[in-house]
Amino acid sequence: MTDSQIHKGLAGVVVDYTAVSKVNPETNSLLYRGYPVQELAAKCSFEEVAYLLWHGELPDSGQLSDFQAVERSYRTLDDNVKRVVDDLPLTAHPMDVLRTAVSVIGANDGQADVSTPEANLAKSIALLGKIPAIVAYDQRRRRRQPIVEPRDDLGYSANFLYMTFGEVPAQVVVDAFDVSMILYAEHSFNASTFTARVVTSTLSDLYSAVVAAIGALKGPLHGGANEAVMHVFDEIGEAAKAEEWLNTALAEKRKIMGFGHRVYKNGDSRVPTMKAALDTLVAEYEAQDLAELYDALESSMTSRKSILPNLDYPSGPAYHLMGFDTLTFTPLFVASRVTGWTAHIMEQLASNALIRPLSLYNGPEERHLP
Ligand code: SDX
């Protein structure tokens, strides 16, 4: 083996087939089971997209109402999940709380190690229902607010917002949130999805794969970027200071959160749709100052480094305007991406191939004890 065989970060390396989604940097497009994500965001609900990712086809009205009924049945957390979360410090990062809670849900599941497609589908829809409850529970406990129980008369996004804030916001907010869930749902072999596939390839269980994926998504080079974008905006403060801040940050060799992508090099296909959703929220909340800061940093970054925004750049300020704590942003990514992760887990199981790459040794040559 030689150095030329090494592909650090697996950049540009094709390791397997997937039928779940197609990311095409040449055409700057993203297809979920063949459908352009922009069309799904415009015409479908997140529940329909979750069904599509898992079943390969969009649901008809009967299939959708059955699917929704099952998802709604999982919106209440078991008492031991609440006890474990309550025992965690209020300063615990919400991604650590979420990872821990999913572990408990897995430990509670007597079928955890049964990996038939039916069993994994049941676990997946259970997590779809339960993760919003965990995210809402954790944000309210941190804010020392009373816990809000789910409402069965509300769809996925409206109920998520209701459990988090104690009321259903304007439809424009529910719609923007639903669009963000659709856009975050799936993105082929990104780091957290590939993590889930690696764990699954050993024939470990779905919960272990999801917990591992949550750990991977937490990192600021991946899912943690949407939280980091708001920290950047807080650092800059106002649009007039964006260019000066950027010059300093780039001089310090900092990665500017919310910009760049390993696969897309001419811009993230999802950004225009999420930016349009952000614009509706800017109008709803009269957040012109935030919009100007957003535009100022983007134009400075693209002119200085010709590196374009990724999905985390518009989604961070969108979640901020919706009222979520900044620390809650990446758990929102988990709530959506758990659909893509579990679709890949089921696909990896069917391919039944252990993932085990090679390495080129560059440590001490063979030597022996005296
Ligand atoms: C997500 O893979 C997916 O599909 C992920 C995702 C999904 O849906 O699952 O799309 C979600 O993770 C989006 C990315 C969120 N992360 C961030 O916003 C963090 C900031 N971005 C960078 O860290 C970076 O752009 C990466 C990690 C996302 C991609 O980096 P690459 O492709 O490995 O590129 P690189 O780090 O090799 O950078 C190439 C050059 C470098 O300059 P040089 O050292 O060659 O001079 O571009 C520079 C980098 O320094 N660069 C940046 C930059 N991104 C790249 N410089 C400053 N700020 C940035 N954001």
- Whether 190 lines ligand 1, by a CB cut-off of 6 Å, is yes
Close Cβ partners of 343 (under 8 Å, ≥ 6 residues apart): 20, 53, 54, 124, 186
Answer whether residue 347 shows pLDDT above 90. yes
- Whether 222 lines ligand 1, by a CB cut-off of 6 Å, is yes
Per-residue pLDDT tens for 146-164?
999 999 999 999 999 999 9
ipTM exceeding 0.95? yes
Answer whether residue 134 shows pLDDT above 90. yes
CB 258 within 8 A of CB 225: yes
Answer whether residue 129 shows pLDDT above 80. yes
In the prediction, which pLDDT does 265 show? 87
Per-residue pLDDT tens for 77-98?
999 999 999 999 999 999 999 9
Residue nearest to atom 35 of ligand 1 (CA): 262
Tokens of 363: 């440590």
Tokens of 126: 């259970």
In the prediction, which pLDDT does 176 show? 98
In the prediction, which pLDDT does 5 show? 86
pTM of the model: 0.97
In the prediction, which pLDDT does 36 show? 98
Residue nearest to atom 3 of ligand 1 (CA): 190
Tokens of 364: 């001490």
- Whether 262 lines ligand 1, by a CB cut-off of 6 Å, is yes
pLDDT band at 2 (very low <50, low <70, confident <90, very high): confident
The CA 236 to ligand 1 mean position distance, Å, reads: 20
Per-residue pLDDT tens for 210-268?
999 999 999 999 999 999 999 999 999 999 999 999 999 999 999 999 999 999 989 99
The residues annotated with a catalytic role in the active site are: 222, 261, 312
Tokens of 296: 């100022």
More confident residue, 142 or 3: 142
Alpha-carbon distance 370 to 264, whole Å? 54
The CA 315 to ligand 1 mean position distance, Å, reads: 17
In the prediction, which pLDDT does 3 show? 84
Answer whether residue 1 shows pLDDT above 80. no
Alpha-carbon distance 86 to 89, whole Å? 8
Close Cβ partners of 348 (under 8 Å, ≥ 6 residues apart): 196, 197, 200, 201
Per-residue pLDDT tens for 164-205?
999 999 999 999 999 999 999 999 999 999 999 999 999 999
Answer whether residue 352 shows pLDDT above 90. no
Tokens of 164: 């988090």
The CA 286 to ligand 1 mean position distance, Å, reads: 31
